[in-house]
Amino acid sequence: MRRILALMLAAMMVFALAACGQSAPAPSVAPTQEAAPAEEAPAEAAEEVSVPSGVEDGVLTVAMECAYAPYNWTQGDDSNGAVPIKGSTSEFANGYDVMMAKKICEANGWELEIVKTDWDSLVPGVQSRTYDAVIAGQSMTPERAEQVDFAGPYLYATIVCLTKADSQFANAKGISDLAGGSCTSQLATIWYDTCLPQIPDANILPGKDTAPAMLMELETGMCDFVCTDMPTAQGAISTYPDMVLLDFAGSDDDFEVADSDVNIGVSVFKGNTVLLDAINAVLEPMSADDFNAMMAEAIAVQPMSEA
């Protein structure tokens, strides 16, 4: 009997030890299961990082040529609402773009800083975040939209031509009537790249760096006509009374352009939705009539020398 009890006691001890051996690995499993989410946490945090708006300091830095009247120009004082140009004590910026920039800043409680730069530097400057935005009469073309985001439009610009009153093209009723003429426009614009090539047998001269240089080419008789948009043409004829505006809109012989070519927008860094939404909140309630009224104000105060 004692022998049987001893054997039973020994068997129970073996069973107990075996049971302890099976439960021992259990604690090591739990930490391994909990570790995986911790390793993924940094990736999730990175996805939530947003693009800075650029106006965290309360200043909206806007770039433009300051040489593209009536959109923007440079003047020597702060008359008619002109604002200082960054880095200068004697130059001030004014024009439709400046008026619109001021309106956007006032609505958002920002200060406005204007940077004067070349046309070709505008998009790269936004991409490098040298400027927060460009308000410079830029068309909202698909090519530009691949590089920047556009707010707006803040203007709808009709494509027109300018010629001299005594020119053989002064009575042109469509682009076919301009056939064979010598012409130019501003470089890197739809006027030069898209519109002039549509004129039959046009003698397209080298493009000009600025709108004033383009107009001077016409005024001095170096070409027969130039292609531009309605606001630029309206500003020009207010300064050069010997110029005639040729508007073919509504005819079957007009320039063929997409809406993106004539819709003028504000460009910002791609993905900067905070700034984009803030600007759109100001522009979207405005109508074409509102835009045209502001442009008329800009043309009215445009200096003679800036056409």
Within a domain: residue 209?
A: yes
- Number of independent structural domains in the chain: 2
* Host domain of residue 214: 159-248
CA distance 250 to 156: 15
Within a domain: residue 215?
A: yes
Q: Write out the chain's pLDDT in tens, 307 residues.
A: 444 444 444 444 444 444 444 444 444 434 444 444 445 544 444 455 578 999 999 999 999 999 999 999 999 999 999 999 999 999 999 999 999 999 999 999 999 999 999 999 999 999 999 999 999 999 999 999 999 999 999 999 999 999 999 999 999 999 999 999 999 999 999 999 999 999 999 999 999 999 999 999 999 999 999 999 999 999 999 889 999 999 999 999 999 999 999 999 999 999 999 999 999 999 999 999 999 999 999 999 998 666 5
Within a domain: residue 99?
A: yes
Output the pTM of the full model: 0.79
State residue 116's pLDDT score: 98
The 10s digit of each residue's pLDDT in 54-79 is 999 999 999 999 999 999 999 999 99
State residue 305's pLDDT score: 60
Q: Residues 188, 242: one domain?
A: yes
CA distance 210 to 306: 11
Contact 201, 177 (CB under 8 A): no
Q: Residues 63, 152: one domain?
A: yes
Q: Residues 72, 219: one domain?
A: no
* Nearest alpha-carbon partner for 136 in 216, 202, 210, 45: 210
Q: Residues 163, 139: one domain?
A: no
Cross-strand bridge partners of residue 226: 162, 184
What is the DSSP code string of the chain? -HHHHHHHHHHHHHHHHHHHHHHTTHHHHHHHHHHHHHHHHHHHHHHTPPPP-S-TTSEEEEEE-S-BTTTBEEESS-GGG-EEBTT-SS-EEESHHHHHHHHHHHHHT-EEEEEE--GGGHHHHHHTTSSSEEEEEEE--HHHHTTSEEEEEEEE--EEEEEETTSTTTT--SGGGGTT-EEE-BTTSHIIIIIGGGSTT-EEPPPBSSHHHHHHHHHTTSSSEEEEEHHHHHHHHHH-TTEEEE--TTSSSS----HHHHEEEEEE-TT-HHHHHHHHHHHTT--HHHHHHHHHHHHHT--GGG-
Q: Residues 240, 119: one domain?
A: no
Within a domain: residue 167?
A: yes
Determine how many CB atoms are found less than 10 A away from the CB of residue 198: 16
Q: Residues 163, 149: one domain?
A: no
What's 224's domain CATH number? 3.40.190.10
What is the signed CA dihedral for 244, 64, 157, 276, rounded to 10 degrees?
A: -170
* Nearest alpha-carbon partner for 119 in 197, 194, 211: 211
Within 8 A by CB and 6+ apart from 103, the residues are: 282
* Nearest alpha-carbon partner for 70 in 161, 137, 151: 137
* Nearest alpha-carbon partner for 97 in 133, 45, 124, 125: 133
The 10s digit of each residue's pLDDT in 105-116 is 999 999 999 999
Asked if omega into 70 is within 30° of 0 (cis), the reply is yes
